Amino acid sequence: MKDLTVVRTVADLRHAVGEFRAAGRTIGMIPTMGALHEGHTSLVQGALDRGDVPVASIFVNPTQFGPNEDFAAYPRDEAGDFAKLEAAGCRIAYAPGVEEMYPGPQLTTVTVAGLTDGLCGPFRPGHFQGVATVVCKFLIMAMPDRGYFGEKDYQQLQVLKRMAHDLAMPIEIIGMPTIREPDGLAISSRNRYLSPQERKIAIAMYRELTALAANVRDGRTPCAKAAAESAQALLAAGFDKVEYFDVVDAESLAPIERVAGPARIAAAARLGRTRLIDNVAV
């Protein structure tokens, strides 16, 4: 690697970040689980656009996966990820092992209440605690000026914004727009699980989300009834199970019955062995 420094320990990460700090640079952190795609490289670009030195982490975090989820199968391609980060302009890649992130028994966790009650929360118990705790650790390890996260995981983004606010972290959490395939499918590391037939069906999610957004935007249409129809449309298109299809307040994530301010429509559904999530602004 010519322009990308790969580090694997907290000490080396702090040293590498410190050198850029000493040169007067600001730091933008991009936490990832690897299997990088255009969504991740757009976060690197977001940091570059703000003048930050991009620092990415690559760590498939075991504590955010449930016992029946895809931790073991989650795609891993470290060499490919480093090459993509370097090509995108990232300067430091932090790729710790589990022992470095969780040395010995961990008695401390970060829980963001309320925001995790709905949407993915009930379907992935413990997930957001795992995410908030590991991101809190990454931010303390690197002490960036800004952290960059995709709006694709909208609930995660709101949870992390609230965590940074409530814990008075001197770090701005920036949400970056979802990157989509030309047919609208949100780019995700898990899309590679889709068969060619499922890939065709998958576009129904974005189609139904945008249709519902157009439908409820006037503030007169009752959201729950319209969203239930969208969920049915997903099943009719070939999805196996809809976990939720909700219209929520954009900040509190509480369900709303009629749109009267910033709102978000979010859905999660299963297609074969793949769980797809996506969301759009209203």
**Integer angstrom CA distances of residue 98 from 36, 63, 201:** 19, 10, 36
- β-sheet with 263-271: strand ranges across: 241-249, 263-271, 274-281
Amino acid at 51: G
Is residue 40 among the annotated active site residues? Answer: yes
Quick check: 147 and 135 in contact, CB under 8 A?
yes
The interface region with ligand PAF, picked from 118-126, 128-136, 192-200, 245-253 by CB under 6 A, is 128-136
Task: Work out which of 16, 44, 112, 131 binds ligand PAF, going by CB under 6 A.
Answer: 131
**Per rule CB under 6 A, is residue 135 in the interface with ligand PAF?**
yes
Q: Residues with Cβ < 8 Å from 22, sequence gap 6 or more? A: none
Residue 118: what are its φ and ψ, rounded to 5°?
A: -110, -165
Taking CB under 6 A as the criterion, the residue among 32, 42, 133, 279 binding ligand PAF is: 32
Which residues lie below 8 Å from residue 200, measured CB to CB, with a gap of 6+?
none
Minimum separation from the CB atom of position 195 to ligand PAF (A): 23
Q: Calculate the alpha carbon distances from 38 to 76, 88, 93, 186, 189 in Å.
A: 16, 10, 17, 10, 10
Give least dist CB 50 to ligand PAF, A.
19
Q: Judged by CB under 6 A, does residue 92 bind ligand PAF?
A: no
Judged by CB, which is closer to ligand PAF: 31, or 264? 31
- Considering beta carbons, is residue 77 or 240 the nearer one to ligand PAF? 77
Q: Which residue in 31, 96, 121, 175 binds ligand PAF (CB under 6 A)?
A: 31
Residue 158, interface with ligand PAF (CB under 6 A)? no
Question: Distance between CA atoms of 24 and 83, rounded to whole angstroms?
Answer: 26
Using CB under 6 A as the binding rule, whether residue 33 contacts ligand PAF is answered as yes
Of the candidate spans 16-24, 27-35, 82-90, 111-119, the one that interacts with ligand PAF by CB under 6 A turns out to be 27-35
Tokens standing for 239? 């999805």
Residue 4 or 147 with smaller CB distance to ligand PAF: 147
Residue 119, SS3? coil
* For ligand PAF, the closer CB: 145 or 153: 153
Query: What is the contact surface with ligand PAF in residues (CB under 6 A)?
Result: 31-33, 61, 64, 131, 134-135, 153, 156
Active site residues: 40
